[in-house]
Structure 1
Amino acid sequence: MSKTKVAVFVGSLRKDSINKKLARAVEKLMPADFEFDYVRIDNLPLYNQDFDADYPAEAKRLKQQIEAADAVLFVTPEYNRSVPGVLKNAIDIASRPWGTNSFAGKPGAVIGASIGPISTAIAQQHLRGSLAFVDVPTLAQPEVFIHFKEGMFDDDGSIGPDDTRKFLQGFVDKYVGWVAKHRA
């Protein structure tokens, strides 16, 4: 049986990103037939409609990586009550030029972690609006707004607290079903 490939977008570029850690922890909870493919977004040029005639190599690579995936997962921090610019830029590049939207019809989900008490709730709402426009059917529930605290991740990168791990396993189970439903 072939693996289900998930293109994973982590909106934080920070080396010790808690959202990157969250993505890796969620990956550990996935069934064996799911494969995470982390999408590089730090080397993309800023989107410019002039590219539409001849996309830069890194933009073409981004589009091909998404097109090769069966599903997408966005793991976003919240910057100034919205989505990080680097993540929005990647979405803009991958959905253009008109008629070549690499995201079209790919099932997706949005999760995130932050040290703030409302976590990434507002950024996720902004991101969901963009994803609806680029035709990514996005899992609505459960919403995953992780309030990061010390001890959240074990030394091996797994989620530490049992209640958080159980909650994330519930998310993973729903996401797996969501992807299967949309691939059928």
Structure 2
Amino acid sequence: MSIDIATIPELLKFNRAMTLKILDEISEFSDPTSALTFRPGPGRAHIAWQIMHLGITEELFASQRLRSTDSSLTQWFDSYQKGTNASDEIPSIDTIRSVLSESRENVLDAISQITAADLETVPAGLSERGWTNQMALQILCWHEPHHQGQAHLTLNSWKAQQ
């Protein structure tokens, strides 16, 4: 099954709208940090980590996995990439929005350089995983709804305790 590259930005746009909807809701609370720091259980990721992880994962795809280029978001990599533990230091909603915006712009630029002829190519940054460009694009389309759903459930759990 081959994907249509042209649909990927539209799917990502829809997914991001749902994520930003959560941030919009949180920003209206009297204490947004309380919601952002809420963990569904001991040692589990809080809402801020779930959402920052989305931006940093896209930035990693844009700068290291789909291509190799510099990133201005490297200061966040150690805190929000796969396998990291959610820190108690919480970025502001404005910082989260900024990371989401910049990383999205960068991943869309990287995607725009992939042609239909490149779909079965395994980029150097994904050779260890053996993922083709097509698989990487499918993962990107799945990744945000996955973590957005976790953030949504965590937010609902926080609201239930208020």
Which structure: greater helix fraction?
2
The two structures have a TM-score, normalised by structure 1, of: 0.31
Which structure: greater strand fraction?
1
The two structures have a TM-score, normalised by structure 2, of: 0.34
Higher relative contact order (CA 8 A, sep 6+): 2
